[in-house]
Amino acid sequence: MGFRYAEEKDIQIIRELWMYSFNEDASSTDYYFENRYSKDYNALWDEEEIKASLQLNPYTLSIKGKKEKTSYVVGISVYPEHRGKKLTTKLLKASLLDLIERGGAISLLMPIDTDIYRRYGYENCFDMEVYNLSIRDIKIRKDRAEKTKRVREITKQDIKDIQNIYSSASKNWDNYIERDEDYFKELFKEVKSEAGEIFISYDKDEGATGYMIFYPKFEGGSKGFVREMFYKNSSSLNTFLSIIKSHRTQFKDVEICQEKDSYLKDFWGYDNKIKVNIKPFMMARIINPALFLNNMGIKNKIPLKMKIIDSFLDINNKAFIISENDVIESNDENNIDFIIDIGSLTQIALGYIGIENAVFTEKIVFLEPEKKENIVSALKEIFPNTKSFINDYI
């Protein structure tokens, strides 16, 4: 049989495969299968018995103001006795082809190992800043603390406040996941199932000014973990740092995740005792180039012809013309202006890497060197650098 979607009768065996493949405790697994699992988005490789599974969780991705329905690939798992048979390749390819048939244009994936998924055309497209430091090195300003609330049972007002804070933060981003009221309801359940906490800060005049998702017993209680922290002002940031520092008798170190180019380094004054790393977080790949680029409104005054190399999805291995009206497929591969692989095109289209970077690293190949300067100039206008943020786990 091969590729199919799950049915109600399959849930127990899928759950067993999930538990076997991932190092999760029972409460996290219970949360996922009770709240996030849907057979409509669970793809299987079934040859008289289920051998492999993956989830295609639906999200709405905002790309430069345009809404794009996408599927977030999670939970890729193969039973041990069937590993080494390229079932991941078969299942993922069948899933992406099915998504294309259903009108999909782009796919997201959070990798365990980027090299594994690069072979399928995925590339890093979303990063974050990760701070690792000792509790004693957290700097706070005691005169600027705000009122805070630890959310025990989330209310409609809490959701509204958190949603407004996220919306305020997302105004600074070009590409991000849309989060509605239902998203935050589920997020609260997810965090609670993992022994995490959500704090909201308030100003007497402005109302809610920030929220923090905090795990005080991360890695078995050896450190604290801030999964997400958004703040409208320095007082809100100071408040959350004060809360973290108040746990100094419970753990010595903390890890804090932030959007790239956050205010945290400036707030602390670039302390050399604090380690700051850029963490590649999410990979992406365009699965339908013409549809995706047209949805983004890509066009050019003078037609450019590009050849896309997609070694995983052969249907994309062809020429495309970027014209003054739209992007269209072309059966004629003569007079190609440049060649680019699908992963690099995804990075450029999402603004993760600039055109100059792509040229220097030879991600773009020019067939006629004398045209290179004009093509580069055009591509810079078509694909400007952008700011992105994604911090969604399942």
Please tell me the predicted confidence (pLDDT) of residue 144.
59
Written as one letter, the residue type at 116 is I
Q: Which of 51, 57, 21 is nearest to 39 (CA)?
A: 57
Question: How far apart are alpha carbons 166 and 307 in whole angstroms?
Answer: 39
The tokens of 61 are what?
Answer: 């991705």
Please identify every stretch of the chain with a pLDDT value under 70, giving residue numbers as ranges.
143-145
Q: Which of 80, 82, 76 is nearest to 94 (CA)?
A: 76
Please tell me the predicted confidence (pLDDT) of residue 28.
83
Written as one letter, the residue type at 56 is L
pLDDT tens sequence across 273-329: 899 999 999 999 999 999 999 999 999 999 999 999 999 999 999 999 999 999 999
Please tell me the predicted confidence (pLDDT) of residue 145.
63
The tokens of 220 are what?
Answer: 């078995």
Question: How far apart are alpha carbons 364 and 372 in whole angstroms?
Answer: 10
8-state DSSP, 336: -
How many other CB atoms sit within 10 Å of the CB of residue 99?
A: 21
Question: How far apart are alpha carbons 167 and 208 in whole angstroms?
Answer: 12
Question: How far apart are alpha carbons 277 and 270 in whole angstroms?
Answer: 13
Helix 181-193 vs helix 156-170: crossing angle, to nearest 10: 100
Which numeric CATH code is attached to 129-280? Answer: 3.40.630.30
Which residue ranges does the chain devote to CATH 3.40.630.30? 2-109, 129-280
What is the β-pairing status of strands 327-330 and 338-341? unpaired
Which residue ranges does the chain devote to CATH 3.30.1050.10? 289-385
Question: How far apart are alpha carbons 216 and 246 in whole angstroms?
Answer: 11
Please tell me the predicted confidence (pLDDT) of residue 253.
95
CATH assignment of 2-109, among 3.90.950.10, 3.40.630.30, 3.40.50.300, 3.20.20.70: 3.40.630.30
Asked if residue 388 lies in contact with residue 352, where contact means CB atoms within 8 angstroms, the answer is yes
Please tell me the predicted confidence (pLDDT) of residue 198.
97
Which numeric CATH code is attached to 289-385? Answer: 3.30.1050.10
